[in-house]
């Protein structure tokens, strides 16, 4: 009876491959692991990029608001209104000082101006027409019977935007703005009403009518 052959050990030294070539050893570290380790090393040694630019957008917005506020504060006082043949203030017995907060709208015998602008927003000459239908129809939005003065509204809308930003920055009520109406004593009611209506449509909800007291000798 033949004795069984001893089993071959799996831990024996590697022998030749079936083709006769020696077997290759398995590499200890793969290329993938090497690349991963290299990336980690680069990340550890990488420095924070230097900031070579300055974002001044927010600072410019703040400076714009401050500039508008300063210019508004330095504007001429509404109590120092130059009166002439084209603009004479009506007389009042009130002696209270007028408010300083608001955009100035001047209504003279021949034109309407706003704030410090020297060029008139609207010019007119026919006094009879002013008392009946107000300013000329070409300045209206919807014909001669309309109350909305388009050129005046365009100018007031720009002042409203600036005043709203100032009020929001100062924590004041920004839902409406103030207007200081300086009208000649002979201004027809129709023209005055058109100016007030246009200002109201432009989000000016508070009005100050500037008058001269009965003791004022300047007129």
pLDDT digits (tens, 9 = 90+) for 24-51: 555 555 777 777 777 887 777 665 555 5
Report d(CA 193, CA 20) in Å as an integer.
113
Is residue 22 in some structural domain? no
Q: Count how many domains the chain has.
A: 1
Residue at 31 is within a domain:
no
What pLDDT digit, counting tens, does each position of 161-198 carry?
Answer: 999 998 898 888 889 999 999 888 888 999 999 999 99
Asked whether residue 18 is domain-assigned, the answer is no
Residue 77 within a domain: yes
Between the alpha carbon of residue 176 and those of residues 1, 10, 181, the distances in Å are 118, 94, 16
Q: Please indicate, yes or no, if residue 161 is contained in any of the structural domains.
A: yes
77-122 pLDDT per residue, tens: 445 556 666 666 665 544 445 455 789 999 999 999 998 888 999 9
- Beta-strand pair 103-107/177-183: parallel
CA atoms within 13 A on the CB side of 67: 6
The rounded Cα 171 to chain-centroid distance in angstroms is 16
The residue segments making up the domain with residue 122 are 59-213
| Residue 127 resides in a domain | yes
Residue 124 lies in a domain: yes
In a domain, 87, yes or no: yes
């Amino acid at each position: 009876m033949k004795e069984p052959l001893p089993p071959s050990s799996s831990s024996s030294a590697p022998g030749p491959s079936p083709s006769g070539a020696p077997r290759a050893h398995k590499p200890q570290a793969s290329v993938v692991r090497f690349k991963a380790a290299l990336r980690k090393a680069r990340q550890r040694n990488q420095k924070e990029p230097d900031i070579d630019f300055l974002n001044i957008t927010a600072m410019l917005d703040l400076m714009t608001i401050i500039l508008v506020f300063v210019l508004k504060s330095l504007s001429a006082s509404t109590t120092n209104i130059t009166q002439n043949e084209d603009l004479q203030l009506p007389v009042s017995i009130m002696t209270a000082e007028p408010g300083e907060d608001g955009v100035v709208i001047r209504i003279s015998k021949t034109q309407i101006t706003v704030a410090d602008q020297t060029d008139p927003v609207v010019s007119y000459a026919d006094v009879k027409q002013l008392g009946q239908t107000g300013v000329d129809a070409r300045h209206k939005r919807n014909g001669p019977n309309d109350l909305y003065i388009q050129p005046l509204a365009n100018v007031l809308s720009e002042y409203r935007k600036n005043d709203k930003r100032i009020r929001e920055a100062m924590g004041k009520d920004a839902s409406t703005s103030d207007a200081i109406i300086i009208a000649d004593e002979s201004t027809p009611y129709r023209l005055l009403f058109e100016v007030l209506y246009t200002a109201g449509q432009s989000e000016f909800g508070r009005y100050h009518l500037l008058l001269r007291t009965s003791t004022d000798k300047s007129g």
